[in-house]
Structure formats: structure tokens, C-alpha cells
């Protein structure tokens, strides 16, 4: 029997195609994406593999139900490549880019309700501040939130960039990233509920894997990576009682083995060929 693989972040199917080339004939792949444009692109990219590749529109937090419904549970391999695809970042009309003017949208799934415009124009300043601080790790969150509220209504990504530029004193602008990077990251994570999605999905992935099956995650910032790292750490331990407790009372049993003790980083050559890979971190775990 060939391998059963699930790519939970199909995107433009770059990884999915590579997996298919290694597991066919005999293997099957389920591709999931919440972005209908990616679903369309993924279907076209995998058409040559016929019924061995199944592509589904959905959120990866629903992985358990989707895999079951399409006959992909239990699976040998589950892949997550978090974040945005190049297709999303490079389409100004999606509103993800601070480099091009577009609507304040930022929804990965345009059928979902919450947009960045709704957050910046309708949420309280304190809630905007929380989003920028917690999800953008932006230390100027308070001032940026005040400037956003004072400039309402904000219509485009340029309006938002200008609010951020005005809020942060020029001498404090970061040198290595765009001044609005953290604000855009914070809003994008809130719009798409990205961290809850990840927490629920990696839990579902563990349940969906067969013993000996592996899950691989590629993270692009510390908030994503931290969730995976702590999940792997907890689930690879037999006991999670506080260290000062002399006798175990938790009854917890290890459910996985960490394959990558340290995350795998891209080589210099890979970063030179694909600069967007520079912050990627790969972690792999095997179900016991
Ligand atoms: C970095 S891209 C993946 C690129 C892909 N590995 C490739 O080779 O083309 C991430 C993709 O995951 C999708 N995505 C992000 N969060 C998701 C979620 N919660 N559920 C399903 N898809 C999600 C995005 O829409 C995007 O297409």
C-alpha cells in the first residue's frame, strides 16, 4: 500500500507535487486550503495525478472531520506550511501587503466575515492595541492604536501604513523590516484567528496520524513556532506533573517522539534562491 499524505496548507501545491512524486504510484494525497483561490490553483496543479490527489476547501482546524470524510484517516504524513502563500501576498486586492495599495481585507478565506477594515474602523482602541501587541509583538501598539482611531475611517493598506508611520517616531523605525510589518502581522493573525487554528490543527493531526506516521510543520514567526514546540514537548513526555512533585498524578503518556530536536533552518543557498524562506523553521514529530 502507498503512503497516505495530507497537506493542510496546499497553497500553490509546491510541496504537494513534491510529495506526490515520491508516493505515487500507490500513494494518495489530500490537499486542504481555506483560500478558494488556492483550492482552484491546487486542483489544477495536481490534476495530472488524477483521483490520487483530492483537494478540499476548508480550515485545517477541521482536519479530523475532513480526513475522515474523504477516507484519509489514519494518515502516514501530515504537513503544515503556516502563513501566507506568495499568491496571497503578491495580490494587492487581498490587502496583505504593506508595499502595494489595496483594500483592508486580509482574509485568507474571502467567504469569512471579519476583515482588517472592520477591526481598524470599529474595534475599541484598547482591543486594537491588544491585537497589535499580542499578535504583532509591536511595542508601539498603544500609540499605533491611538493614531488608527484618530484617522478613521481607514480605507486602504496605504492609509494603515501612513497611520503606523505617523505613530512611530522615525528614529525608532526598525532597520531590518518595514515599519508596518508587525501591525500587518497582528491584524492578519486576528482576522484569520491563526493561532487558535494552529493549536486545534496540531492536536487534530496527532489524532489523525497512524502510529509511526509523521507530522511536519513549517513556521515563519515565533508565535507559530512556540505553539508547535510546546505541543511537541508536552506530548513527547510521559509525565507533565510539576518537577517538584515527588509522585506522578497526571497519568499523561507520551504520544509522539520529536524527530527534530532543534528546528531545521534553510541553508544559505536556499535563502539566496528564495528570500521569503529566511525565517522558516521546520519541526517534525512521529506518532508513537
Ligand atoms: C505558505 S502557504 C503554503 C504554500 C504551499 N506549501 C506551496 O507549496 O505552495 C500557506 C497556505 O495555507 C493556507 N492556510 C493558512 N491557514 C489555514 C487554515 N487555518 N486552514 C487551511 N488553510 C490555511 C493559506 O491560505 C495558504 O494558501
Residue 207 backbone phi and psi in degrees, to 5: -70, -30
H-assigned helices in 70-178: 86-89, 116-122, 125-136, 141-150, 157-167
Phi, psi (degrees; rounded to nearest 5) at 82: -70, 165
Specify the DSSP element, H or E, that contains 137: none
Ligand 1 midpoint to CA 52 (Å): 20
* Chain Cα centroid distance, residue 95: 17
- For residue 11, the ligand 1 atom closest to its alpha carbon is 27
Residues with CB under 6 A from ligand 1: 9, 11-15, 32-35, 38, 59-60, 81, 83-85, 108, 197
CA atoms within 13 A on the CB side of 38: 29
The closest of 3, 6, 16, 55 to 34, measured between CA atoms, is 55
Q: How far is the CA of 239 from the centre of ligand 1 (A)?
A: 34
Q: Report the atom number in ligand 1 closest to the C-alpha of 201.
A: 19
Decide if 65 contacts 43 (C-beta within 8 A): no
C-alpha cell at 149: 482611531
Radius of gyration, CA atoms only, the chain: 20
Please list the pLDDT of the chain residue by residue as tens digits (288 residues).
699 999 999 999 999 999 999 999 999 999 999 999 999 999 999 999 999 999 999 999 999 999 999 999 999 999 999 999 999 999 999 999 999 999 999 999 999 999 999 999 999 999 999 999 999 999 999 999 999 999 999 999 999 999 999 999 999 999 999 999 999 999 999 999 999 999 999 999 999 999 999 999 999 999 999 999 999 999 999 999 998 998 999 999 999 999 999 999 999 999 999 988 999 999 999 999
> Virtual CA dihedral for 109, 114, 119, 121, nearest 10 degrees?
110
Amino acid at each position: 500500500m502507498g503512503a497516505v499524505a495530507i497537506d493542510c496548507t496546499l497553497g500553490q501545491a509546491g510541496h504537494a507535487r513534491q510529495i506526490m512524486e515520491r508516493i505515487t504510484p500507490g500513494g494518495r494525497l489530500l490537499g486542504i486550503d481555506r483560500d478558494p483561490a488556492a483550492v482552484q490553483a491546487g486542483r489544477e496543479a495536481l490534476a495530472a495525478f488524477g483521483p490520487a490527489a483530492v483537494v478540499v476547501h476548508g480550515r485545517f482546524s477541521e482536519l479530523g472531520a475532513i480526513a475522515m470524510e474523504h477516507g484519509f484517516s489514519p494518515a502516514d504524513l501530515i504537513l503544515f506550511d503556516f502563513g501566507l502563500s506568495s499568491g496571497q501576498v503578491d495580490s494587492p486586492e487581498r490587502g496583505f501587503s504593506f508595499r502595494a495599495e489595496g483594500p483592508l481585507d486580509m482574509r485568507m478565506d474571502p467567504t469569512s466575515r471579519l476583515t482588517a477594515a472592520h477591526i481598524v474602523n470599529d474595534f475599541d482602541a484598547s482591543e486594537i492595541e491588544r491585537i497589535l501587541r499580542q499578535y504583532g509583538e509591536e511595542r508601539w501598539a498603544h500609540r499605533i492604536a491611538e493614531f488608527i482611531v484618530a484617522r478613521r475611517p481607514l480605507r486602504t493598506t496605504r492609509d494603515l501604513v501612513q497611520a503606523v508611520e505617523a505613530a512611530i517616531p522615525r528614529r525608532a523605525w526598525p532597520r531590518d523590516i518595514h515599519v508596518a510589518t508587525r501591525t500587518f502581522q497582528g491584524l492578519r493573525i486576528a482576522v484569520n484567528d491563526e493561532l487558535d487554528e494552529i493549536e486545534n490543527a496540531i492536536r487534530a493531526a496527532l489524532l489523525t496520524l497512524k502510529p509511526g506516521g509523521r507530522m511536519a510543520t513549517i513556521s515563519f514567526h515565533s508565535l507559530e513556532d512556540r505553539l508547535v514546540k510546546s505541543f511537541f514537548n508536552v506530548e513527547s513526555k510521559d509525565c507533565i506533573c510539576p518537577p517538584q512533585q515527588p509522585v506522578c498524578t497526571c497519568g499523561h503518556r507520551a504520544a509522539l517522539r520529536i524527530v527534530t530536536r532543534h528546528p531545521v533552518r534553510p541553508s544559505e543557498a536556499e535563502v539566496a534562491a528564495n528570500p521569503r524562506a529566511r525565517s522558516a523553521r521546520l519541526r517534525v514529530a512521529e506518532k508513537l
